Structure 1
Amino acid sequence: MVRAIDVVFEKLPPELDTIPDRDTVVDATLMIQAFVLNAFGCLDNLAWIWVCEKPVLNARGKELGPLEVGLGPKRRDVRASFSKEFVAYLEKRQDWVDKHLKGFRDSLAHRIPLYIPPYIVSPRLSKSTTSSKKPVEMPSESLTWGSTTSCRPSSADWASGGLG
């Protein structure tokens, strides 16, 4: 997981002041996605190790099903097997897990993948576009990701393999 973060900062260092090429941004995006999924997976794996090694059984004395294993507050049988101190530790961190880790993981796995925009418009350039009526010309390398007039890729983009 440390390597994933190292790669992000190697590919997109904070001091970078040019528009990175598409492959560089995609590589960094993949590393961020890998980090989020692995962070969530580590917590899930810890729960499974605990349940299997302890062993933790449900209220009927049966093995837990796959949807009954986890560290979250809804996993009452698992939580009941922990010390009060450890449950308090988990409860203190639950907001962070829900807001950051679970939210990003669920979005990545089920809805919209995490994404790094190809570039940003600086506040200086943004002010000049809002204060004048004429459009600001963007550098040509900023337009290499497809049309700026549509959020949908053109058929030429698909045909050329440029969206792979």
Structure 2
Amino acid sequence: MHRQFADLRARFLARKYRTERGHEFACYGFSRRLGTMVRAIDVVFEKLPPELDTIPDRDTVVDATLMIQAFVLNAFGCLDNLAWIWVCEKPVLNARGKELGPLEVGLGPKRRDVRASFSKEFVAYLEKRQDWVDKHLKGFRDSLAHRIPLYIPPYIVSPRLSKSTTSSKKPVEMPSESLTWGSTTSCRPSSADWASGGLG
């Protein structure tokens, strides 16, 4: 992963840009975001390695949560930066021959002027991946920015022990091995709730 990141960043940094804004979005936007995302992944696995079999302290969980949130926001920002690089370098103008406004720039299907500047092959490529963007990136990003932030549950109670505690009126002491890490589903908004961001 680190080598792929270094190669990709080097290509964007070494490129000769036609415009100052294109250079700015590529070097200070996209490239910096890539570095943040790689470091975020490293920190998550340092804080919560897969082989961990004990309950980590709260600060450790919060640190890992911060990295996951940073990754999601910067992944979304990378796509927006790529759209701006293209618009500035092409350049892409609206039907009146004017520069596009901030809400007109993006890679999503609603950004018609930008989409019209792409090749048919690239539009087809984006269309095949739009469902992934909507479900696994935009939904999480919008929830993080506007509603419920992504989080890591402190632990889960095993189904076996959960049944025994609910069926008994007596308090049950839960052994530490019954408290394990598990996955959770983010409070993902419906498509009707999504804000009209650059990928909408």
Larger mean CA deviation between 5-14 and 150-159 belongs to 150-159
Larger mean CA deviation between 79-88 and 6-15 belongs to 6-15
Larger mean CA deviation between 112-121 and 22-31 belongs to 112-121
Q: Distance in 1 between matches of 2:196 and 2:122?
A: 54
Paired position in structure 2 for 1:49 = 85
Q: Distance in 1 between matches of 2:146 and 2:44?
A: 23
1:90-139 Cα distance to aligned partner (Å, 9 max, x none)? 00000000001000001111111111111111223213223433232347
The answer to whether the aligner puts 1:160 opposite 2:187 as a matched pair is: no
Q: Distance in 2 between matches of 1:139 and 1:52?
A: 59
Q: Distance in 2 between matches of 1:123 and 1:79?
A: 49
Paired position in structure 2 for 1:136 = 172
How far apart are residue 162 of structure 1 and its match? 37
Contact map agreement 1:22 1:145 (CA 8 A) in 2: no
Contact map agreement 1:40 1:101 (CA 8 A) in 2: yes
Contact map agreement 1:19 1:141 (CA 8 A) in 2: no
Q: Distance in 2 between matches of 1:21 and 1:9?
A: 15
1:49-91 Cα distance to aligned partner (Å, 9 max, x none)? 0001101011111110000000000000000000000000000
Larger mean CA deviation between 52-61 and 150-159 belongs to 150-159
Q: Distance in 2 between matches of 1:107 and 1:59?
A: 33
Structure 1 residues 10 and 63: alpha-carbon distance in aligned structure 2, compared to 1, 3 A threshold? same
Where 2:59 maps in the other structure, the secondary structure is: helix
Q: Distance in 1 between matches of 2:55 and 2:135?
A: 31
How far apart are residue 27 of structure 1 and its match? 0.4
Structure 1 residues 47 and 125: alpha-carbon distance in aligned structure 2, compared to 1, 3 A threshold? same
Normalised TM-score (structure 1): 0.81
> What fraction of aligned residue pairs are identical, expressed as a percent?
100
Length, aligned pairs only: 164
Q: Distance in 1 between matches of 2:122 and 2:92?
A: 16
Contact map agreement 1:119 1:142 (CA 8 A) in 2: no
Structure 2, gaps ≥5 residues long:
1-36
Q: Distance in 2 between matches of 1:61 and 1:49?
A: 18
Paired position in structure 2 for 1:112 = 148
Structure 1 residues 17 and 77: alpha-carbon distance in aligned structure 2, compared to 1, 3 A threshold? same
Tell which structure's C-alpha radius of gyration is larger: 1
